């Protein structure tokens, strides 16, 4: 299977390059790169013990095998970090070079195949940062810089989190390209994250499947997705390849929700809102001055008479987004008092067409103080009300 960047990372990169041209230029600049490389080299000298090829031949053989599988032709150096701590490894990125730092008893706890999986994972980070002309590295550094500020918007924080998670998913796929064996990758993951020296990857994968059999789950981790998420993701990738992407995305991102919008979600929700507004404006009788003005408060460039695009995805949306759309409909239903109950009838039918009827009913009853009986009567009379409004508009023309 080909190893290509997850679609999420490519879309996030394109958005960041468009939205932040000044910051993008800085992080893509040679001066920034030089400063960064100097800091990495100094950190490696200060905090690690360099492992020489002469005394760690097996390690360097595994490194050469992993690099070849990932189509990386560059000098590779391994280090052991100082101090105690759990097992792990990290790539210190330098253009044209690969520096992998091992932490804890990695060399003694992992089998040869598991160590190869670990090295493949770290070197895949290098491949990701250098592919696409290095633009994914620029995007990562840019979003991390923004997210690191105290005043960062929640959407920037969520974007950074999801980019981190997809980066790890990609790196695990790099391990798969190197080893072709998900069992070795899963065993490596479990050992590194638990400290165990003996694990059963098949048993752990069954454990992961039990979690997803009980409920839909999306990762809440701050950087690396939970081990059981990564285990299931690499197993799905092994079985299905690119066809596994929707299920992996559901684990990494979950549904679009109002309390966890990233930058891409914001654009998607704006697009959906625009589609809903255009659907509402489709009947000429509804396009009063007050309604059109309200629509342009959402979208100043909106063409009120433009043909509405189809939209029927409300039922598949998270409840928070369904409620948001219901309130958008309600806003338009009451913005022009002169339209009266026919505007509410129009919103009721629009809610049904959008798949948010139940949510709209609840919101309308709460906000308009309607009884259940009154709402049902309005629903029954809606077709006649709307037909009469359309007929009156035709007569005016």
pLDDT of residue 31: 66
pLDDT of residue 310: 72
Q: Please spell the DSSP secondary structure of 257-326, one letter per residue.
A: -GGG--HHHHHHHHHHHHHHHHHHT-SGGG--HHHHHHHHHH-TT--TTSPPPP---GGGS-HHHHHHHH
Domain coordinates in residue numbering, the chain: 7-178, 263-396
pLDDT of residue 223: 63
CA–CA separation, 331 vs 352, rounded Å?
Answer: 16
pLDDT of residue 148: 93
* 287 phi and psi angles, rounded to 5 deg: -85, 60
How open is the CA angle 221-242-67, to the nearest 5 degrees? 75
Q: Please spell the DSSP secondary structure of 38-91, one letter per residue.
A: HHHHHHHHHHEEEEPTTT-HHHHHHHHHHHHHTT--S-EEEEEESS----EEEE
- Closest by CA to 298, choosing from 317, 265, 334, 271, is 271
pLDDT of residue 192: 95
CA–CA separation, 297 vs 335, rounded Å?
Answer: 12
pLDDT of residue 174: 97
| pTM confidence score | 0.89
pLDDT of residue 38: 83
CA–CA separation, 256 vs 313, rounded Å?
Answer: 12
pLDDT of residue 30: 72
pLDDT of residue 311: 67
CA–CA separation, 260 vs 219, rounded Å?
Answer: 12
Per-residue pLDDT of the chain (397 residues; tens, 9 = 90+): 789 999 999 999 999 999 999 999 988 887 666 777 888 888 898 999 999 999 999 999 999 999 999 999 999 999 999 876 789 999 999 889 999 999 999 999 999 999 999 999 999 999 999 999 999 999 999 999 999 999 999 999 999 999 999 999 999 999 999 999 999 999 999 999 999 999 999 999 999 999 888 876 666 655 678 899 999 999 999 999 999 999 999 899 888 889 889 999 999 999 999 999 999 999 999 999 999 999 999 999 998 787 777 765 666 688 999 999 999 999 999 999 999 999 999 999 999 988 899 999 999 999 999 999 999 999 998 889 888 888 887 766 5
pLDDT of residue 92: 93
pLDDT of residue 214: 81
Per-residue CA distances from 12 to 9, 140, 174 (Å):
5, 9, 21
The DSSP code for 202 is: H
Write the burial class of residue 108 (CB in 10 Å: 0-12 exposed, 13-18 middle, 19+ buried): exposed
CB 86 within 8 A of CB 192: yes
Q: Give the gyration radius of the chain's Cα atoms.
A: 27
CA–CA separation, 159 vs 253, rounded Å?
Answer: 10
């Amino acid at each position: 299977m080909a190893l290509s960047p997850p679609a999420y990372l490519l879309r996030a990169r394109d958005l960041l390059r468009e939205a932040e041209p000044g910051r993008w230029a800085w992080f893509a600049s040679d001066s920034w790169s030089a400063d960064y490389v100097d800091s990495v080299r100094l950190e490696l000298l200060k905090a690690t013990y360099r492992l020489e090829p002469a005394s760690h031949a097996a390690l360097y053989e595994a490194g050469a095998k992993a690099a070849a599988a990932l189509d990386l032709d560059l000098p590779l150096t391994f280090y052991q970090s100082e101090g105690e701590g759990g097992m792990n490894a990290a790539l210190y990125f330098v253009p044209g070079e690969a520096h992998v730092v091992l932490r804890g008893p990695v060399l003694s706890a992992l089998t040869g195949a598991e160590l190869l999986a670990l090295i493949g994972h770290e070197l895949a980070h290098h491949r990701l940062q250098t592919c696409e002309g290095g633009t994914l590295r620029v995007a990562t550094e840019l979003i991390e810089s923004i997210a690191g500020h105290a005043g960062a918007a929640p959407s920037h924080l969520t974007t950074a989190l999801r980019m981190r998670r997809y980066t790890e998913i990609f790196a695990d796929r790099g391990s798969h390209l190197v080893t072709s064996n998900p069992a070795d990758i899963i065993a490596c993951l479990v050992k590194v994250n638990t400290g165990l020296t003996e694990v059963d990857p098949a048993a752990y994968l069954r454990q992961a499947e039990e979690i997803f059999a009980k409920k839909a789950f999306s990762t809440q981790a701050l950087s690396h997705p939970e081990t059981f998420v990564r285990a299931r993701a690499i197993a799905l990738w092994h079985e299905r390849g690119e066809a596994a992407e929707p299920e992996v995305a559901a684990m990494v991102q979950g549904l679009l929700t109002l309390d966890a919008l990233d930058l891409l979600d914001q654009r998607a929700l704006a697009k959906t809102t625009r589609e809903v507004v255009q659907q509402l404006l489709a009947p000429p009788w509804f396009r009063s001055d007050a309604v059109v003005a309200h629509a342009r408060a959402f979208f100043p460039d909106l063409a009120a008479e433009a043909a509405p695009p189809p939209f029927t995805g409300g039922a598949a949306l998270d409840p928070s987004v369904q409620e948001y759309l219901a309130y958008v409909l309600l806003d338009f239903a009451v913005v022009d008092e002169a339209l009266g109950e026919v505007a509410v009838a129009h919103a009721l039918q629009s809610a049904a067409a959008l798949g948010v009827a139940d949510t709209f009913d609840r919101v309308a009853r709460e906000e308009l103080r309607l009884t259940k009986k009154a709402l049902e009567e309005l629903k029954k009379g809606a077709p006649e009300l709307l037909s009469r409004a359309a007929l009156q508009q035709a007569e005016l023309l």
